[in-house]
Chain A
């Protein structure tokens, strides 16, 4: 069954090639893309079941044994991320097919989307530092092209800064690869986790900091986040939604993976907690200052990243479990919010708060989709955000880190405030004319995302248990090393 691991990367890439090959025959393109993404989702679920039943899949591409070969590995953490991401990729694809048909961008979209899928999958399952670089680049190159769907002046300017920032970070990533290879002579993550312990702590900390900076850029951590709210809102809704849901979270995934596996300390990291708190506060304050739906939501991505890093900063099993739960909840809710925002925007032709109003009366169904997602983002019970935040707060208090807990609760309140701002301006107020009705496919896909987010809250118990088992694996680097290299 471990052929599934290379297949989650090779499958979508192959499908991407096929979609280019069939040209503008739209129905064939669509079928290929759906088959490709459904395949990744199916494989992800199979990998998750295998990982959780204690037979996590590992494969050495090319047949060379680790650490010389290229390792692909799906432990619990990677399999959870892959499953959640693949389900979002599928739902956003359904939304995209309904919207882009109208914008006549449909034929252009599919091959890039599949390449993005392959890049995301590779970043999750790779067990090798350089291969991680390749996975990131595949994902990013697809994202550059998707951002320039329409090549107006605004899109080009936003994409330009996005590309330049990411390229600088990628160059620094190569520097890390070089330094790690110079210091240890290996790039296999499992092998590194065994070797890193013997490295001079000063060198080790330096490498750890550099890694944090590089993936802090990709994950939009404070103070490296400024590219995000600038570039995300300009793209078409499905593209923004999938970027918001996935791309920064791949960065968070790598931060968690490297900080636990290679650079782990023994106690909560004050630096990480400081970064987490600042990210939350700056993100939410930025959101409050905005007047456009997508820009508000983009700033919220940043503030939410802070919560995920907070769980990592606590560096305990319960803290990491809360982080994993938070990421799962966030990917779904954030994607859903952007999809709802896109519904409103496509019906009014604008996302500016002062030019829309009264959506609640004219389109109650859209308002009903927004409400659970917004409350969940703010962490109101009984939605999924509450469950995840509760886990973080409990562990923060248990470890006596009152300051970060206070900050996180205050930021939750401010998030609620900025959601009421959208609610008050867009859904209440004087009714404005809608230019058109959103396609039923867009609405249907959004309903599915909302249903999934409610399911996360409903099945919070089993999910929290799964996250806790994944966190146990993360806290002890030996588990990962043994998985890849065998006992020894």
Chain B
């Protein structure tokens, strides 16, 4: 079981990384979602095998599932949900301002490219 899950984690990370490296903001957002899901799944895998829930007074300590990874994943999901919502709002704002979904070039890079172009023009 856990080998399949590990494979899923690997695929999520690979696909997520690929998408984050894209120029379209919407793809970056989806890529970040995939990567954080991969991380969440990895935390789930760090717990014990499926077992009965731990309830004080009702279950035996040796026979219950480890509740800690589940609690952590729940927290992590809530956090990544909130940040993804913020990121989507930001991407929308960027789209409304620039009219395109692509990440803009860095202003400094543009400036340096301009200087380079001028120098080439001068030498030609």
Contacts and interface: CB of A to CB of B under 8 A. Distances in A.
A152 B90 CA distance: 11
A315 B111 CA distance: 42
Contacts of A144: 83, 86
B83 A141 contact: yes
Contacts of A134: 75, 79
Interface string B63-102: 0000011001001100110110011001101100110000
A141 B72 contact: no
Interface residues of B, number: 36
B86 A171 contact: no
B42 A174 contact: yes
B43 to A, nearest CB: 4
Contacts of A87: none
Nearest to A137: B79
Contact of B32 (A152, A167, A175, A181): A167
Most chain B Cβ neighbours within 10 Å, of A145, A170, A174? A174
Given A153-B98, A174-B76, A167 B87 contact: yes
B15 to A, nearest CB: 13
A160 B83 contact: no
Given A134-B75, A160-B25, A145 B86 contact: yes
Interface in B18-46: 20, 25, 28, 32, 35-36, 38-40, 42-43, 45-46
B124 interface: no
Contact of B94 (A156, A177, A178): A156
Contacts of A175: 39, 42
Contacts of A168: 20, 32, 35
A183 to B, nearest CB: 9
B118 interface: no
A209 interface: no
Interface string A183-204: 0000100000000000000000
A177 B72 contact: yes
Interface string A128-139: 001001100100
A167 B83 contact: yes
Nearest to A176: B39
Given A157-B104, A168-B35, A174 B97 contact: no
Contacts of A133: 76
Contacts of B75: 130, 134
Contacts of B68: 181, 187
Contacts of B72: 130, 177
Given A134-B75, A174-B43, A181 B83 contact: no
A40 to B, nearest CB: 23
A141 B90 CA distance: 13
Contacts of B39: 171-172, 174-175, 178
Contact of B93 (A151, A178, A187): A151
Given A134-B79, A151-B93, A160-B103, 4 more contacts: A153-B94, A163-B90, A175-B42, A178-B39
18 contacts: A137-B79, A151-B93, A152-B97, A153-B104, A154-B107, A156-B94, A160-B25, A163-B86, A163-B87, A164-B20, A167-B32, A167-B35, A168-B20, A168-B35, A170-B79, A174-B40, A175-B42, A181-B46
Interface of B: 20, 25, 28, 32, 35-36, 38-40, 42-43, 45-47, 68-69, 72, 75-76, 79-80, 82-83, 86-87, 90-91, 93-94, 97-98, 103-104, 106-108
